[in-house]
Amino acid sequence: MTIDEIFCCYIKNMPFKFEITHRSSESNARLGKIDTPHGRIETPAFIPVGTQATVKSLTPEELCGLGVQIILGNTYHLYLRPGHDVIGKLGGLHRFMHWDRPILTDSGGYQVFSLARLRKISDEGVTFQSHLDGSSHLLTPEKTIEIQEALGSDIMMCLDECTPYPATRAESRSSLELSIDWARRCKESRSAEGSALFGIVQGSMFEDLRARGVEALTNIGFDGYALGGLSVGAPKELMLSLAAFTLPLLPDSLPKYVMGVGYPEDLVELVSLGADMFDCVIPTRNARNGQLFVRTGTLNICNARYQDDNAPVEEGCPCYTCRHYSRAYLRHLFMAKELLACRLNTIHNVHYFMALMSNMREAVRLGRFELFKKEFYSQRAC
């Protein structure tokens, strides 16, 4: 057994723990590590979304090869299909999907938000109709914890009401108070040892409501804190302004997670503000739609200019796609609607996001984050 293998065995089955190892002297960017029952996560970290117990088109081995440390499982979807009871009987989500690294599960709150015409919210929870067969279900804070514990999540999320944008102050306050009450009930119903539970700060676009959310959730006490409702249609400037206001209010010694974000520029800005964790469907969804991320911005592979272009997606990129395939071939696959197009595009985009996070971690470690940020934007101006 190698030293690395011994180390991996040692950090697995560890209780949840977060430690900050480096801080930027020029910004709020920070480098840390999270120990979980299924291994260590170096932060800042980006979490690819595995909605149906899979990151679309990629195998777990490919994800590991791309440097993915943690994935996100979707509580709502896995509850409906195949069912958390089925997954629990089969040994939990890690065994079910052949993934032995950390898993974060969301609470289902965002999915309920996105199905506004199929749900009704009350103090008890959310009654909704399945988008699969129309059957009726009640999702309560207690139920979301039951589901996530059956899945065997390393990091569980509290049920919250994702406040839409725009929303009035009265609507936002009411939604916030409901989310706070649900967070309290989630913590009271928690029973799993080792797994972490994060609270989610809502409050829409009102700074005082965000501050109220932070105060209430920190009084309840969680293992980490997330900012929710920042990626539901608000202008980017407002999203960043709210993050800049709220992140410093969160406990400095615990992970700070911005949910549903985002594009590369968003990640760079939010890391600079002190965020540690992110998740988003952008790298995988955009890959399936033919958009590839490169140092200078994005490349739309369906563009006719790439029809006979023998260059890789990006010169110097070491990912499997760029080492073996040309833009012309990728365009051909995409235009022909071949499944391989989704796989190759996704490999490149996930690699891009993992490399971006790795480069930011290294920049914080070396005390050169602001120089990294300047170089990042200078390349995109080309």
Please give the residue that has the higher pLDDT: either 108 or 98.
98
pLDDT for the residue 7: 41
pLDDT for the residue 3: 35
**Which residue, among 149, 142, 151, has the nearest Cα to 184 in the 3D structure?**
142
Q: Which residue has the tokens 């723990």?
A: 17
Q: Which residue has the tokens 């791309």?
A: 66
Predicted structure pTM score: 0.95
Q: Give the integer Cα–Cα distance in Å for 88 and 1.
A: 31
- Strand duo 291-294 + 103-105: pairing: unpaired
Query: Burial of 168 by CB count in 10 Å (0-12 exposed, 13-18 middle, 19+ buried)?
Result: exposed
Q: Tens of pLDDT along 235-283?
A: 999 999 999 999 999 999 999 999 999 999 999 999 999 999 999 999 9
Host H or E run for residue 20: strand 17-23
Q: What is the DSSP letter of 339?
A: H
Q: Residue 297 forms beta bridges with which residues?
A: 294
8 pLDDT above the threshold of 60: no
User: Averaged over 103-126, what is the pLDDT?
Assistant: 84
Q: At what angle do helices 169-189 and 207-220 cross, to 10 degrees?
A: 10
114 pLDDT above the threshold of 80: no
User: Averaged over 187-206, what is the pLDDT?
Assistant: 94
Q: Give the integer Cα–Cα distance in Å for 359 and 356.
A: 5
Sorting pLDDT into bands at 50, 70 and 90, what band is 5?
Answer: very low
Point out the least confidently predicted range of 38-42, 45-49, 66-70, 73-77. Answer: 73-77
CATH architecture of the domain formed by 3-280: Alpha-Beta Barrel (3.20)
2 pLDDT above the threshold of 70: no
Is the Cα dihedral 320, 324, 328, 331 positive or negative?
A: negative
Q: Give the integer Cα–Cα distance in Å for 316 and 328.
A: 17
What percent of the chain is modeled with pLDDT above 70? 96
376 pLDDT above the threshold of 80: yes
Structure tokens at 345: 């595009």
Structure tokens at 230: 């920042």
Q: Tens of pLDDT along 331-365?
A: 999 999 999 999 999 999 999 999 999 999 999 99
Return the HEC string of 64-101: HHCCCCCEEECHHHHHHCCCHHHHHHCCCHHHHHCCCC
Q: At what angle do helices 264-272 and 236-246 cross, to 10 degrees?
A: 30
Q: Tens of pLDDT along 60-96?
A: 999 999 999 999 999 999 999 999 999 999 999 999 9
Q: What is the mean pLDDT of the chain?
A: 94
Q: How far is CA 206 from CA 173, 201, 321, in A?
A: 9, 12, 44
pLDDT for the residue 380: 93
pLDDT for the residue 116: 66
**Which residue, among 322, 320, 291, has the nearest Cα to 309 in the 3D structure?**
322
Q: Residue 280 forms beta bridges with which residues?
A: 48
Sorting pLDDT into bands at 50, 70 and 90, what band is 17?
Answer: very high
> Among all residues, which ones are annotated catalytic?
106, 279
Task: Say whether 35 sits in a helix, a strand or coil.
Answer: strand
Please give the residue that has the higher pLDDT: either 47 or 194.
47
pLDDT for the residue 151: 97
**Which residue, among 34, 104, 36, has the nearest Cα to 361 in the 3D structure?**
34
Q: Give the integer Cα–Cα distance in Å for 198 and 218.
A: 10
Structure tokens at 156: 């569980």
pLDDT for the residue 9: 41
